[in-house]
Structure 1
Amino acid sequence: MKIDVMISADHINKEEVIGKTIVVIDILRATSVITTAINNGCKEVIPVIEIEEALAIANEGECILGGERKALKIDGFNCSNSPLEYTQDIVNNKRLIMTTSNGTKAIKRCEGAKNILIGAMINAKAVSDKVLNLEEDIVIVNAGTYGQFSIDDFICSGYIIHCILDQNPKVELTDIAKTALFIYKQSTDLSFIKEATHYNRIEELGLLKDLEYCCQKDIIDIVPEYIDGRIK
């Protein structure tokens, strides 16, 4: 078993994801939203890249529209990209149509992979258990921020790798995977995440409770999976 890491949605190499098990990470905040919504009873999440596509799908039946542009709620959408909005009374037994600046793009660009799992800090241990059971080579895809490397996703990658190695120390790591693990070990309290550009953007918007929530470890024990255009 081998683990590799890609640093942003814009760095996804199709040849390196085809037939692989992928873990997509966008902890601030798309994959945290998806994991929370599914955990709270959401029937399925349909990730799309463009706002217009989300609106078109929404016209086909009862659903919730969620997402962001530049970390702000999209006009006409039901919810923003705050996981705290996706409570059980809002999402239970509903479809969520979602579009974000980074996370949904990363998910869609991984199409063709054997498995596409949704990971975040809040379900990292569950993700590690899942990939160990699959016994496949893993590529951890960081959504990043507007095509660029993002500290927050990279540290989350390191934590997932740490959890995997706890159970199987013989797993092979690429150099970038080793680096992610090293960075996490220097900041196991996650304090270094506060240096991330995107973290600071969300902080400037006053969304401190979102940051606190998304930086919690292992509070959810499910692993949503993207199959045929839907996350369940």
Structure 2
Amino acid sequence: MSEITKPRLEVCLSPALLHLFDVKNSIVVIIDVLRATSTICTALHNGAAKVIPVATVEECVNIGRQLDAITAGERDGKIADGLLHGNSPFEYPVEFISGKVLVLTTTNGTKLLHMAKDAVQIITGSFPNISSVCEYLISQGQHVILGCAAWKDRVNMEDTLFAGAVVSRIKEHFDVNCDSALAAETLYESAKSDLFGFMKKASHYQRLARYGLEEDIRFCLTPDGADVLPILRNGELVKEK
């Protein structure tokens, strides 16, 4: 493939920057490593029928009641008031989630997912499903935006690291003329020998560690622990066959 015909690969470091990108002609990868997209792929890997991402707790409760589904989500790292389950991948083992519908609302990830609704395709990415994400993006041959959920529109470490890891793996198949992609890759290359140790500097690590969630963080930074591809179809995230 010549350089001219390669599709673009770009990184959007915050939802506040998404309007600067050509969403309508791109596959958008929603990245919320700690912990929404890590939990989504884990739930689907462990047999969830689907995950329905919603913006508000009220929506979550109402849809959950209509569908007799599991309602879950967090605000600022804690289980949201009115919901029974949180945003930890460890809450969704096979024996609990298999065959069930999960309705999920989170501080950052579900917001970005709804913002990107006009994309050619929306998938979700995190370290636990990085190989499936990379293989899919290479196979599609379309422009890609790696969209970081960030933290309340502020750039964060973990989503940037994941975007950099994807760039590092697939850049040969794409035209990477994007400074944020190059910066993300540079950050990942400096951190990849010890992602967990590197993340100890990060604000979200410290936020979650206050709640004793270091094991969640470690899982969310480990490649391919739940290697399936969540893909958005009709407003629902399902496992790509």
TM-score (norm 2): 0.91
> Aligned to 1:195, what secondary structure does the other structure show?
coil
Structure 2 unpaired stretches of 5+: 1-6
Match of 2:78 in 1: 72
Work out the percentage of aligned pairs sharing the same amino acid.
31
Question: Does residue 234 of structure 2 align to residue 228 of structure 1?
Answer: yes
Check conservation: 2:57, 2:82, Cα contact below 8 A.
no
Residues matched between the structures, number: 230
Match of 2:110 in 1: 104
Q: Which moved more, 1:221-230 or 1:30-39?
A: 221-230
2: CA distance, partners of 1:51 / 1:19: 31
Match of 2:4 in 1: none
Check conservation: 2:49, 2:99, Cα contact below 8 A.
yes
Q: Which moved more, 1:197-206 or 1:5-14?
A: 5-14
CA shift for structure 1 position 207: 0.8
Check conservation: 1:22, 1:116, Cα contact below 8 A.
yes
Match of 1:5 in 2: 11
2: CA distance, partners of 1:221 / 1:206: 25
Match of 1:115 in 2: 121
Match of 2:25 in 1: 19
Listed as ranges, the matches of 1:45-84 within 5 Å are: 45-84=51-90
Match of 2:178 in 1: 174
Check conservation: 1:125, 1:163, Cα contact below 8 A.
no
2: CA distance, partners of 1:15 / 1:120: 21
> Aligned to 2:67, what secondary structure does the other structure show?
coil
Check conservation: 2:14, 2:147, Cα contact below 8 A.
yes
Q: For residues 30-86 of structure 1, what are the alpha-carbon distances to aligned partners after superposition, in whole Å with 9 as ceiling and x for unaligned?
A: 000000000000011110111111111112121101110111012332311111101
> Aligned to 1:60, what secondary structure does the other structure show?
helix
Match of 2:130 in 1: 124
Q: For residues 101-153 of structure 1, what are the alpha-carbon distances to aligned partners after superposition, in whole Å with 9 as ceiling and x for unaligned?
A: 00111111110101101100111121111000000111000000111100110
CA-atom RMSD in angstroms? 1.4
Question: Does residue 210 of structure 2 align to residue 204 of structure 1?
Answer: yes
TM-score (norm 1): 0.95
2: CA distance, partners of 1:220 / 1:147: 27
Q: Which amino acid is 1:134 matched to?
A: Q
Q: Which moved more, 1:110-119 or 1:185-194?
A: 185-194
1:90 is matched with which residue: 87, 96, 114?
Answer: 96
1: CA distance, partners of 2:44 / 2:174: 32
